[in-house]
């Protein structure tokens, strides 16, 4: 009646990326290396590796939550699990996955029907991304922000925003290119005034 399907492999306890003993060749991946995390291995990213080639996750890769971390690679292919935080324990630091390449960089080929191009992160397994929860992720302006302003007055106080957070200011005119990003430099005690690291480039109408 057919073969019995074996259970999926187990990854066991996590092992640190920075530990040479974690890797099959007892060598921490170096710049430009293609990295494969086997199906029975759970790697805990605890350092900022150099820029890598293709990172293939057959087992599990998770980010340690003790400091900001960045994974630089040409592509990341997830067959197993890539986890940054969990629903019960959200990640509280900054986690960045930055993909590198140019138009002529090699394409990621998964089989003879899946040519995915370059600078991609195909997920054929499980992806968990759970960041710091926010009570309020968006607000309206209390006062119009004009070009060259370095402060924003908000209509509703924010208590869980932090210095260093990036804000997206949506356009209020008909030009979609007036969407811009700014970085929080200071927050008033009442949560209604935000100081910006750089000046606003376009006018944003408060309504």
- pTM for the complete prediction? 0.76
- For residue range 127-161, list pLDDT tens digits in order: 999 998 888 899 999 999 999 999 999 999 999 89
Ranges of residues in the chain whose predicted pLDDT is under 70: 1-9
Cα 127 to chain centroid distance, Å, stands at: 11
Closest by Cα among 79, 82, 75, 78 to 107: 75
What pLDDT is stored for residue 32 in this prediction? Answer: 95
pLDDT for 3: 62
Q: What is the pLDDT of residue 22?
A: 97
- Strand-by-strand arrangement of the 35-37 sheet: 35-37, 52-57, 69-78, 95-99
């Amino acid at each position: 009646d057919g073969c019995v399907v074996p259970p999926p492999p187990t990854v066991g306890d996590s092992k640190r990326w920075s530990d040479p003993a974690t890797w099959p060749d007892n060598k921490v991946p170096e710049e430009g290396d293609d990295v494969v995390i086997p199906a029975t291995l759970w790697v805990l990213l605890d350092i900022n590796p150099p820029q890598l080639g293709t990172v293939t996750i057959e087992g599990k890769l998770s980010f340690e939550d003790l400091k900001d971390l960045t994974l630089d690679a040409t592509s990341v292919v997830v067959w197993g699990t890539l986890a940054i935080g969990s629903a019960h324990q959200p990640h509280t630091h900054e986690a960045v996955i930055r993909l590198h390449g140019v138009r002529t960089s090699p394409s990621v080929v998964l089989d003879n029907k899946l040519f995915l191009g370059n600078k991609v992160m195909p997920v054929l397994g499980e992806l968990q991304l759970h960041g710091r929860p926010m009570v309020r992720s968006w607000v309206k302006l209390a006062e119009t922000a004009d070009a060259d302003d370095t402060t924003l007055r908000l209509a509703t106080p924010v208590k869980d925003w932090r210095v260093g957070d990036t804000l997206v200011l949506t356009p209020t005119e008909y030009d979609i290119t007036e969407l811009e990003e700014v970085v929080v430099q200071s927050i008033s005690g009442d949560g209604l005034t935000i100081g910006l690291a750089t000046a606003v480039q376009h006018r944003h109408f408060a309504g």
